[in-house]
Structure 1
Amino acid sequence: MASREEIIANYQNVAPGEFGPDIPGIKVALPPGSTVAAITLDACGGPNGSGLDRQILDTLRYFQIPATLFINQRWAQEHPETMGELVDDTLFDIENHGTKHLPLSVDGQAVYGIEGTRSVGEVYDEIMGNQEYLRSEYGVQCQFFRPGTAFLDETSAQICLDLGLTPAGFSLNLDNGATLPAESVEERVTHFAGGDIGLGHFNIPSSGTGTGLARALPQLMERDIEFATLRQATR
């Protein structure tokens, strides 16, 4: 794996390229021909994002549906006991959602009013701060990275790959950042098909995500939609 110094030397003069949630280099869907779909759920942390929606975890466990949990370092630090529980649960894979939940950019591009990382060195720190935290505290070696807001530029995506992490996007937005009512979440979740990567959140218990997911999953099971974690689906 490249060091911080090597990453800076290799990319300090490289243009950022396109910036967005589905730029070249981001995995926004499962491999062609996939018959399974992937539920991915973010825990963003911070003053307004450090809650825990246990309804979602309980629903997934009840139906025995695997999911990939993208966890920000701030959220993990707020929930050490829950982290231990999630790491030990074979139904879930834990992946990297950044150190400070920033958009990933080599020149400070912003989205939704959130300024991104401002340099190659800050890109490295946003990725590897949490990567090392999850490894040292919980023994988790993450394989996927999703930046805060899911936005990054092409150079940052390549840096992720150089650090041994696949930048993960999505093909199906389940809850618009945990802002949708249950009826809207239910409707979106029912659109899952083989190959989809769905993005939701399990850190806002007041949102409609938990109830919408609980209503929609039995409908998907009746259609024989099968789910896998990103690791399982990309082996």
Structure 2
Amino acid sequence: MIGIVDYGRGNLRSVEKALEKVGFEATIMASPAELSTVNGLILPGVGAFADAMQALEQGGWIEPLTQFARSGRPFLGICLGMQILFEIGEEHGEHTGLGLLTGRVVKFPPGRKVPHMGWNSLRLEQPSHLLEGIPNESYFYFVHSYYAEPGEKKDIVATSDYGVVFPAVVGKDNVWGAQFHPEKSSPWGLQILTNFGKWVNEDETLSSHRS
């Protein structure tokens, strides 16, 4: 089972429907107590960094999400949900993120229209099970005004270019993020959700063998 975090800042139903379309059971979770019932987690997000963190704090999500990430279970942030995986966001001042990945989230430099909205291609920087079956230069749908600057270059899995080359997919151990919206990036976005679902199922099988 894949959980989708409901903290009032994401397109929850579209993510749920996309997962169902590729054959994976998902549930929208309104309470941190439900985290113990899922084997994989998606943190969506639309809006501002500070507002998202405030909503997570008010909902009692921050420590449970950190514990989930430390458990080794697959964890995927989407769009703003990817950005708040990092330590610091610079939108409307400096704000603390979840700190699951090192680095900060910064605004696009002057010279390009923001938000960056539309289809952009990905350059695959390193192999990843999340991107299995995805050809280099495949197109995905983006909507964002800020981008991540990871503290560790090895966490950058794929990049895109919008006047500046920025991370489009990041990952470390079991924690991953996609700056684009896979649920709106058919067919390659659905392939990424398929890969994530398979990863969750494989992790569930390994966990049952370990227990």
Shared topology, TM-score over 0.5? Answer: no
- Return the structure number with greater strand share: 2
- Return the structure number with greater helix share: 1
